[in-house]
Amino acid sequence: MMPRFCLVKQEVYQDLYVCPNRAPFADLLFSSMGRVGPYGLIAELGAAFHILKEANTKECRVWEDVLPGKAGDFRRLKTETLDQLPGQEFKQPGSPDPPGKYAVDAASIDWTRYDIVLSINVSIPKEIVRAYPHTLWCYMIGEANLASQRKAKWGYDVTCNQRARGKVARELGVIDFPYTFLGPETLEKTMRDALGRPSADNGIYAEVNACEGRPVTAPPPLYQEHLGDLGHELRYHQQLIRDNLTELYDSRYFVKVGGRSTRGNSIVEAISAGTIVLMDPDEVEHAELLPPPSHVRSIEQARDVIAMLDANPDARAELLMRQRRRLKRFIFDKPLLSLEQCLYYKRHRKKWWQW
């Protein structure tokens, strides 16, 4: 039997969904203040989602250390939307409501309804965690650069490190689990249903970190100069998540040449939306998703690969299938198996090879 999942975040967290529990899948996704996040828990595994009121305990205020100097600003999310905060004016949150509108007290939830609870940052006080010994309690620090703790704290069983190396956890503690947790076709299915049409399958999407300025107002000049005559619309990052995912879904290629190195949440989104990723694997942590034909290290090489794939539909379909197989393995199957085996270990004190 599939475990019963629950995903939670605090009302002061500056990302993800702003909606009531059990909102329709697309409505929940499009309500995000920024990223797609672990949407696969909900769309693929039926997880519940709750926004929790900020509890006045040390562990539930650890986010203040994660984002030093920002506590005063992000506490305003209890009554204001993200774009009303200093320095966030260019953002376009997907919901017109502040996160605090849907926040409930952690003590009001019947946690016996869930086998595995994943908290973004530390949303649930340790007293509650300790009161439910049969539940697997997990947390993920929202800022990836601070996610590599050596052990779980505050009475929780598991801390998720946002990595996806194909490692399967053998016991409680630190596990590989990505921030953007999606199945190989999760976003494609959601967008097709939401838009009521197939992908336009025409476009070259410029990854946001290859673009200048925020908000992005045009594709990079390099892309316009070298890729603009290939017969594809040049697409780029949109601030509103529904608009951005539509651009991604309608593109045939997702290209990153230049800009800073990234963790790779956006390439997970692209592959799940049915868009082929082309980039330098040395510039992304989730390089395990990119088989060799995906590797491009210059704009000229990107142009050559796109021209080759456009002329060979079978090769193009094969490359997308290979990327999706890797996503399924590294982003979905292995992290899910880690959670399931940690749950078994907690309840039976047996490691997976002792089953």
pLDDT digits (tens, 9 = 90+) for 26-50: 999 999 999 999 999 999 999 999 9
Reported as a pLDDT band with limits 50, 70 and 90, residue 351 is low
0.75 surpassed by pTM: yes
Confidence at residue 66, expressed as pLDDT on a 0 to 100 scale:
85
Query: What's the distance, Cα to Cα, between the start and end of the chain in Å?
Result: 16
| pLDDT score of 350 more than 80 | no
* Residues 6+ away with beta carbon under 8 Å from 352: 168, 170, 341, 344, 345
Please write the tens of the pLDDT for every residue from 269-312: 999 999 999 999 999 999 999 999 999 999 999 999 999 999 99
With 90 as the cut, is the pLDDT of residue 144 above it? no
Q: In the predicted model, is pLDDT for residue 124 greater than 50?
A: yes
Residue 349 has pLDDT above 90, yes or no: no
- pLDDT at 353 exceeding the cut of 60: no
**Token digits for 9?**
């975040």
The pLDDT of residue 315 is 98
332, pLDDT greater than 60: yes
| Contacts of residue 169, Cβ cutoff 8 Å, sequence gap at least 6 | 158, 175, 176, 338, 339, 341, 342
pLDDT of residue 1: 83
Residue 132 has pLDDT above 90, yes or no: yes
pLDDT at 148: 55
Does the pLDDT at position 93 exceed 70? yes
Q: State the average pLDDT for the chain.
A: 95
pLDDT in tens, 210-269: 998 899 999 999 999 999 999 999 999 999 999 999 999 999 999 999 888 899 999 999
For range 141-149, the mean pLDDT: 68
The pLDDT, as a whole number, for residue 213 is 87
Angle (CA) 62-53-155 rounded to 5° is 45
pLDDT at position 354 is: 46
What's the length of the chain? 355
Domain map of the chain by residue range?
5-160, 186-327
Q: Which of 247, 185, 268, 258 is nearest to 225 (CA)?
A: 258
Question: Do strands 158-160 and 136-140 pair parallel, antiparallel, or not at all (unpaired)?
Answer: parallel
* Beta pairing class for 204-206 and 253-256: parallel
Q: Looking at residue 143, what is its pLDDT? A: 83
Query: When comparing pLDDT for 160 and 213, which is higher?
Result: 160
Which residues, other chains included, contact 16 with Cβ-Cβ below 8 Å and sequence gap of 6+? 9, 32, 33, 34, 35, 37, 120
Quickly tell me which residue has 């142009």 as its tokens: 303
Give pLDDT, residue 174.
95
One CATH from 3.40.50.2000, 3.30.470.20, 3.40.50.2300, 1.10.580.10 for 186-327: 3.40.50.2000
pLDDT at residue 352 in the model: 44
- DSSP bridge partners of 231: none
- Look at residue 149 in the predicted model and tell me its pLDDT: 62
Q: What percent of the chain has pLDDT over 70?
A: 96
Distance CA 204, CA 315 (A): 17
96: nearest Cα among 84, 111, 113, 109 = 84
Q: Is 151 a residue whose pLDDT tops 90?
A: no
